[in-house]
Amino acid sequence: MYVVYVLYSLKFDKIYVGITSDLIARFHSHNELSPKGWTKNFRPWTVFHLEFLESKKEALKREKQLKSAKGREWIRNEIKSDV
């Protein structure tokens, strides 16, 4: 099982899209562990959206869709409607 996730930083109004097979560990890494990388600059992160997929191939395809211009537009619209 793989998870495509969208993280949101309210403080910086940033989004991050990724995939993992261990969501809890990955989320912990984004918020607390990783001393380097893009996400460390925009902490704290909240989990905004999750999609559970059976295969890594499906998850990579969905991640790519969400990272596209239309995918990011959809995410931004969802964030606006949630606030």
Do residues 40 and 68 lie in contact, with contact meaning Cβ atoms separated by under 8 Å?
no
Strands 14-20 and 46-53: unpaired
DSSP state of 82: H
Q: What is the pTM of this model?
A: 0.92
Q: Taking the domains of the chain in order of start, what are their residue ranges? A: 2-82
* The residue to which tokens 């001393």 are assigned: 35
**Mean model confidence pLDDT for the chain:** 94
Using the predicted structure, report yes or no on whether residue 83 has a pLDDT greater than 80: no
Per-residue confidence (pLDDT) for residue 37, from 0 to 100: 86
- 15-34 pLDDT, tens digit each: 999 999 999 999 999 998 87
Q: Considering the domain 2-82 in this protein, what is its CATH number?
A: 3.40.1440
Amino acid at 78: E
Angle at 71 between CA 73 and CA 62, to 5 degrees: 165
- 22-78 pLDDT, tens digit each: 999 999 999 988 777 899 999 999 999 999 999 999 999 999 999 999 999 999 999
